[in-house]
Every structure is written in structure tokens, then in C-alpha cells.
């Protein structure tokens, strides 16, 4: 089984988000870029599975749709153990364009299982995995919190709105994962870091893909009103306030 992990590159989650003065795009100066945390968990789990003797996983690759400045972050994925990486060299405007570029690579390189994080910490589209599945006409599963692989099937746990299902699925398929799939992302070993340079990071040219949704401007959240402090000895005061002033 060949696994492809989709990876977006996002500002470190501790970053204060600022926009350029025209409010049309993110102010990127001073931002530290990281692998989207959910995608990193997806990669972690994919690597764990490959290391199990009977998993039948022969390859774990990562893919990013974006420009060259993401390469150092992609290198980290190689340093922690991905076998190879693809980068489609285009600044995609939305989820549809990303899914379209992905589908081309998945078809050409014959991947069996595509894993994506259920959300991306930047524009929170959470749509790429399902769009990709639809474009490929593959089955897909979202909100996955556990994944195991056997020779030609995977066992997954899916958290739906009111229930948790255990599913055995036969790839090809796309799954989007949430927290719980793996504990902590891996720290690359020094040997892994040095070895990453000799692993393939293939830059691919984009195919024509049209999307019809794009961000045109941004806005900072409004200042919240000041916190009203309540005497710890008078909890009933808080209860009154919640009932009368906050209508709850």
C-alpha cells in the first residue's frame, strides 16, 4: 500500500495573526512556518504504521501544494521519516484548486491511501480531503480518530455526530483525521535531518485548475469588552449576572 499524506504549511499556532495594511493578505514577516498540526499527526500515524511488520505499507510520501518557500518545512517531513515528497508549484487560491492538483498526482503516482488533517490551522477550509475523494470518485471517511492497516484493508474509527463507528475499508480511499490518531508528532533525529537532503523532493508543475472561491480581504476580531470581576465569596452574583445580563 502506498500512502500519501497531504500537508499544508501554516503559521506556528502561537503566532499573533496580522495582515498587510491593505488587509488583503497575511503579514508573513516574522512568522515561523510549521506543518499543519493535524497533517503532522497524520504523517506520524502513517510512519508508525509503515514500521509495523505486517502493515503492507511500502511507501509514505508527503505532498504540498505551494511555492518553493515551503521547502524547509517539507524537509522536516522527510527528516522524520517520509520516503519522498512532492510539491506542486502553484499558489492555490482555495480548497478546490488544491484538491484538483492533488488528484492529478494521486492518479499519476498510483497512491492507494490518501490521508489529510481534518482542518488546516490557517484558513480552516477542512474541505480538501472530501473534494479530492469526489474528484477521484473514491470512498472517503472523515473525523477519523484511529487508523490501522493490514495488507489490503484499513481499520478506522470514525466519530460521527452522535456515534463512533469502527469501519473496515478497502483502499483506494481518502481519510481525514482528527486528534487522537497519534499522540505526539515526532522529533527528527539528527541522522534523519542530514538524510532528508538526499531524499527526493519533486517539484511538479501545476495542471490548469479553476476554482471559484477565494479570499479577498481580512478583518481583525473586534476588541472584547473588559472582563467584569466578581468577588469569589459571592458566586450568586455571577449566577444573577449570567441570568440577567447574559441571558443564559
Stretch 136-165 residues interacting with other proteins (CB under 8 A): 139-143, 145, 159-165
Q: Does 37 bind other proteins (CB under 8 A)?
A: yes
Rounded CA gap, 61 and 43, in Å? Answer: 9
By CB under 8 A, the residues from 164 to 193 that bind other proteins are 164-170, 173, 179-180, 184, 187-191, 193
DSSP class of residue 19 equals: B
By CB under 8 A, the residues from 39 to 58 that bind other proteins are none
Q: Which is nearer to other proteins, 61 or 75 (CB)?
A: 75
Query: Which of 150, 202, 207, 239 is in the footprint of other proteins by CB under 8 A?
Result: 239
Q: Which is nearer to other proteins, 38 or 205 (CB)?
A: 38
Q: Which is nearer to other proteins, 54 or 219 (CB)?
A: 219
- Per this entry, what is the length of the chain? 248
Q: Does 121 bind other proteins (CB under 8 A)?
A: yes
Rounded CA gap, 116 and 118, in Å? Answer: 6
Rounded CA gap, 88 and 110, in Å? Answer: 16
Mapped onto helix, strand or coil, the DSSP state of residue 133 is: helix
| Least distance CB 26 / other proteins (angstroms) | 9
Q: Which is nearer to other proteins, 103 or 205 (CB)?
A: 103
- What one-character-per-residue DSSP string does 66-118 give? S-GGGHHHHHHHHHHT-SEEEEE-----SHHHHHHHHHHHHHHHT-SEEEEES
Rounded CA gap, 24 and 70, in Å? Answer: 21
By CB under 8 A, the residues from 71 to 110 that bind other proteins are 72, 75-76, 79, 94-96, 99
Rounded CA gap, 114 and 132, in Å? Answer: 9
Count of residues of this chain found to bind other proteins when the rule CB under 8 A is applied: 91
Query: Which of 17, 150, 202, 207 is in the footprint of other proteins by CB under 8 A?
Result: 17
Q: Which is nearer to other proteins, 71 or 83 (CB)?
A: 71
Amino acid at each position: 500500500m502506498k500512502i500519501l499524506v497531504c500537508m499544508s504549511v501554516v503559521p506556528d499556532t502561537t503566532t499573533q495573526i496580522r495582515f498587510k495594511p491593505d488587509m488583503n493578505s497575511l503579514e508573513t514577516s516574522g512568522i515561523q512556518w510549521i506543518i499543519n498540526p493535524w497533517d503532522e499527526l497524520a504523517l506520524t500515524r502513517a510512519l508508525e504504521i509503515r514500521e509495523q511488520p505486517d502493515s503492507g505499507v511500502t511507501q509514505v510520501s508527503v505532498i504540498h501544494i505551494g511555492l518553493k518557500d515551503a521547502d524547509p518545512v517539507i524537509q522536516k517531513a522527510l527528516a522524520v521519516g517520509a520516503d519522498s515528497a512532492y510539491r506542486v508549484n502553484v499558489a492555490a487560491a482555495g480548497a478546490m484548486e488544491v484538491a484538483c492538483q492533488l488528484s492529478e498526482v494521486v492518479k499519476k503516482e498510483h497512491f492507494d491511501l490518501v490521508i489529510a488533517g481534518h482542518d488546516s490551522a490557517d484558513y480552516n477550509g477542512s474541505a480538501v480531503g472530501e473534494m479530492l475523494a469526489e474528484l477521484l470518485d473514491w470512498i472517503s471517511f472523515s473525523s477519523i480518530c484511529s487508523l490501522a492497516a493490514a495488507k489490503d484493508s484499513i481499520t478506522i474509527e470514525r466519530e460521527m455526530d452522535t456515534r463512533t463507528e469502527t469501519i473496515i475499508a478497502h483502499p483506494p480511499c481518502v481519510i481525514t483525521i482528527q486528534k487522537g490518531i497519534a499522540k505526539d508528532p515526532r522529533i527528527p533525529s539528527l541522522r534523519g535531518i542530514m538524510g532528508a537532503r538526499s531524499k527526493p523532493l519533486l517539484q511538479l508543475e501545476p495542471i490548469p485548475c479553476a476554482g471559484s472561491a477565494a479570499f479577498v480581504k481580512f478583518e481583525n476580531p473586534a476588541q472584547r469588552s473588559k472582563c467584569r470581576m466578581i468577588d469569589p465569596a459571592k458566586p450568586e452574583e455571577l449566577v444573577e449576572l449570567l441570568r440577567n445580563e447574559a441571558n443564559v
